Structure 1
Amino acid sequence: MGKPRIKDVAARAGVGVSTVSVVLNNVEGARVSLETRERILSAARDLGYTSDPIARSLRTRRTQTIGFVGDDIATTPFAGRMIQGAQDAAWQAGYLLFLVNTGGEHALERHAVRALLDRSVDGVIYATMYHRHVEVPELLGDVRTVVLDARPTGGSMPYVVPDERGGAAAAVGELLRAGHRRIGFATESLEVPAATGRLAGYHETLAAAGIPADPELVAAEHGDTAGGYRTASRLLDLGERPTAIFCYNDRMAMGCYRAAAERGLRIPHDLSVVGYDDQDLIAPELSPALTTVALPHYEMGTWAVRRLLRLVQDDPEQGEQGHLMPCPLVRRDSVGPPQPAHVQPTGCQLSRSVRTDRSSVPPPVAQ
C-alpha cells in the first residue's frame, strides 16, 4: 500500500477533498463544523497521512525551516544549551532547525549562509559562543534574522544577551547578605561586554550598599584557571585581604580555590567565593560546591526562535529589539559569613542562615 493521499482522507471522513485541504492547512475563516474537523483529523491520523512540505511551501511561501548559524557553540558543552533551547522552541512550533557550526571561519560562514538561503529557510538565528559585539554577514541583511548571545554592531536586528549587570548584582548581593563588606573581584582583562557589564554590576551593587570603590580590590587577568589563580593571589596577599571574592567565571573560581588553599584559607570558613556561568563540570564538582550565577543559554535559545517566528509571521507586535535575559543565582556551599576579626559593624549587613558544613581545604587545581 502506497503513501496515503488527501483523497484517501476525504473518502474515509466522508467529505470532499477541498474540505480536507481547508482543515489540514488551517485555512483561516473556513466554515467547517467542529464535528467535521475532528472526523477529518481522526481519519488523517488513522491513515498516517502527512502533508507534502514542498507543496505546502508553494502555497504558503514558507518552508517551516529555520537556519541556525553558530561559531563554536556545537562544540562547547555549556553553550550548547542554546541549541537545545532553539531546537525545542522550533519543534514545538512545527519548524525544523538546520544547524551549521562554522568554527569561526568566515569563508565557511558565508558558504553556510548561502546554502541555507538557497534552501529557502524562513529565517536565521545568528549565534555566538559568548556575549560580544558582532558584524552580521551582509547576506543576512534582507533576511529575517535574530542575533543570539551577541549584539549586532550595525542595523536593527533583534538580539538577546545575558543580563551581565544583573547577574553580577545577584552575586555581590549574596556576599553582602552574608555580611561581607570587603569583596574582591577577579575579572577578565579583555574588554568584552560580559567583563564590562559584570564590573559595572559589581561597582553599582557595592555603591548601593554604601561601600566606596576600592581599585585595589579589582584584579584582571585572562579569564581562565591560571588567570583566576593569579588574580586571587594578588587579592589575598593584600595587607588587608578581602573576605570574599567574586570571580568573572567558574574557571577563574577554580584558580581562586587553589590560591586560597596554598594560603591555608578554608572556603567558606575563611574566604567566600562566587563564580559565574554555572558550568556543569566545574561549579558542582568543586569542594565545596561553588555558588555561582547561571548563564541562561537555554532560555536565550528559546527566546531567539520565538522572536524570529514573530518576524516570519509578520506579527505587528513583534516585541523588543534587544532583550536582557536574567541570570539566576545558584546557591551551593562556597559562601559563609566573614570571621569575627573581619566583621565591620554596619547597617548594611543583613542576617541570613548560611550553610558552613563543607569547609575542608580543597586540593590544588591543575593548571
Structure 2
Amino acid sequence: MPATVKDVAKAADVSIGTVSRVLSGEPNVTAETARRVMNAVDQLGYSRLRKRKHDPDAMQLGRKNIAMLLLGMDRSLATLPSVACGIHGAESALSKAGANVLLSDVPSVDSVPTSIVRQNLHGVLAKAALQGKLFESADAGLLERLRAVPTVWFLGRPLGADWGDVVESNDHEVGKLAAEYLLHRGHRRLAIIDPKPDHVTLSQRCASFSWHAGEGGAKVEKVVGDSKDWTLPLHPVDDVEMVDKLVGRLLKRRSKPTAIFCPADGITAMVYRSFARRGLQMGRDMSLISCNNELPLLSGLYPEVTTIDIRAEQIGRQAVDQLIWRLGHAEAPTVSVSVQPGLVEGMSVKDLSESKS
C-alpha cells in the first residue's frame, strides 16, 4: 500500500499540516523540520496524490539518459554545501524517476566531454559558474550540443546562457528578508561585504537588499572586491585574506555600520574569522545576517549566525521536475522557477530597537 501523508508526518514527528507546507515550499518552516520531512518522504517513497493522478507515465525518466553537468567550476566549489545539496536533491529525484544519470565535471568548457559525446542524451541538468564570461571561449561543439538538448539550469543561470529553463533561489526575496529583519531590529547604518562583485546570484541579492533597506530609511555602504581576483574555473571564498582587506576598509569608515549583510555563508565564515583577528565578536560589536544556511560552514561559528535558507536541495529536486515537464513541452517558451527562501534566526543580530525603547 502506498505511503500516505499521515505516514510521512508520523515518521518525521510533525503535523500533517507541516508536511503539506514543506511539500508546497512555503517559507515558514525551519530547515531542520524540512529536512526531517523530506527524509521521511524519501524513505517511505511517498508521492502526493495530486501528482499520482495527473503525472502521465510519459513524463517519467525511465530509460532516459540525463546528463548532470558541472561547468566552469573547480571541484572545491562543487563541494560547497549549497551546491552539494542541490546536486544531491537532483540526483535523488533522478534516481527516483528511473533516469540513467551521467555526471560530468567540466571545469574548462573548451572541449566537449567524452562522457556526453558518445551518449544519446535526452536531457541536461546543469550547474555552472555564475561569475565570469563562461561561454566566451567555450567550445562551439559543446554549445551546439547543449542547445540541442532540453536543458534546465539549477541554482542560477550563468551569464551568456540564453537557452534552457532555470530553477533557482528567489534572490529578490532573499535580499528583502535580510533587509527587513535588520530594519525591524533597529539597524539603519548597514553595509554589504561582497568579494565577488560580478557574481550573478550574489549581485541580485545585494541589489535587492540595498533597495529594500533604502526604502526602509537605512543607509547602505557597499564594500566589494575586485572582479580581476577571480578566474575560471571558479573557486569558493575559502581564504580569510579574501575578505580581511574588505573588513579593514569597512572598519576604517568614520561612520561605522551597525550591521553587515553577507550574500553567502562562505563569505560570512571568513568575515567571522577576520573580526576574531581583531578581538571583535558578532552580535556584540557588530551584527551580521547571511545567506544559504550552509550548516557545515556555520556550525563552528559563535554566536550562531542568522541566515536565509535558500532550500538548495529542494531546488535540485524541482529542477528534475522541470526537466520532466520540459521533455513533454519541447516547444513551450523558457521557464524560470524561483524557490521561496526562509529565515533561520540565530544570535548574530543585536536588537537595537530594545535599547531605544
TM-score by length of 2: 0.67
Amino acid at match of 1:195: L
1:171 corresponds to 2:178: yes
Specify the alignment match of 1:106 in structure 2: 110
Distance 1:274 1:162 in 2: 17
Superposition deviation, residue 64 in structure 1: 2.9
User: Cα deviations across residues 270-317 of structure 1 (Å, max 9, x unaligned)?
Assistant: 31111223233321210112112234321221122111111223488x
Superposition deviation, residue 232 in structure 1: 2.2
Specify the alignment match of 2:225 in structure 1: 221
1:162–1:104: structure 2 CA closer, same or farther, 3 Å change rule?
farther
1:235–1:154: structure 2 CA closer, same or farther, 3 Å change rule?
closer
Distance 2:251 2:295 in 1: 27
Distance 2:327 2:91 in 1: 16
Could you say what secondary structure the match of 1:228 adopts? helix
User: What do you get for the CA RMSD once the two structures are aligned?
Assistant: 3.2
**Identity of aligned pairs, percent?**
22
1:122 corresponds to 2:122: yes
Contact 1:250-1:278 at 8 Å conserved across structures: yes
2:328 to 292, 302, 313: 313
1:253 to 268, 288, 291: 268
Amino acid at match of 2:70: G
1:142 corresponds to 2:148: yes
Contact 2:156-2:169 at 8 Å conserved across structures: no
Superposition deviation, residue 259 in structure 1: 4.1
User: Cα deviations across residues 114-172 of structure 1 (Å, max 9, x unaligned)?
Assistant: 13xx3x23211122255777547211222222222342625442122322232122122
Superposition deviation, residue 196 in structure 1: 2.1
1:285 to 274, 297, 300: 300
1:148–1:255: structure 2 CA closer, same or farther, 3 Å change rule?
closer
Contact 1:278-1:295 at 8 Å conserved across structures: yes
Unpaired stretches in structure 2, ≥5 consecutive residues: 1-57, 136-141, 227-236
Amino acid at match of 2:350: G
Could you say what secondary structure the match of 1:281 adopts? helix
Specify the alignment match of 1:302 in structure 2: 317
Summarize the alignment of residues 323-362 of structure 1 with structure 2, pairs less than 5 Å apart. Answer: 323-338=337-352
Contact 2:132-2:198 at 8 Å conserved across structures: no
Return the structure number with greater relative CO, CA threshold 8 A, min gap 6.
Answer: 2
TM-score by length of 1: 0.65
1:197–1:94: structure 2 CA closer, same or farther, 3 Å change rule?
same
User: Cα deviations across residues 66-121 of structure 1 (Å, max 9, x unaligned)?
Assistant: 121113487414112222111222233232322112233532x4423313xx3x23
Distance 1:83 1:315 in 2: 24
Specify the alignment match of 2:206 in structure 1: 199
Unpaired stretches in structure 1, ≥5 consecutive residues: 1-56, 346-350, 352-367
Contact 2:164-2:334 at 8 Å conserved across structures: no
Contact 1:271-1:338 at 8 Å conserved across structures: no
User: Cα deviations across residues 184-242 of structure 1 (Å, max 9, x unaligned)?
Assistant: 1111343121232122112111122123x45xx21112655323322222222322211
Q: Report which of the two structures shows the higher radius of gyration computed on alpha carbons.
A: 1
Could you say what secondary structure the match of 1:199 adopts? helix
Summarize the alignment of residues 225-240 of structure 1 with structure 2, pairs less than 5 Å apart. Answer: 225-240=240-255
Specify the alignment match of 2:89 in structure 1: 85
Specify the alignment match of 1:65 in structure 2: 65
Could you say what secondary structure the match of 2:157 adopts? strand
Contact 2:202-2:264 at 8 Å conserved across structures: no
Could you say what secondary structure the match of 2:292 adopts? coil
Contact 2:240-2:273 at 8 Å conserved across structures: no
Contact 2:152-2:166 at 8 Å conserved across structures: yes
Contact 1:133-1:150 at 8 Å conserved across structures: no
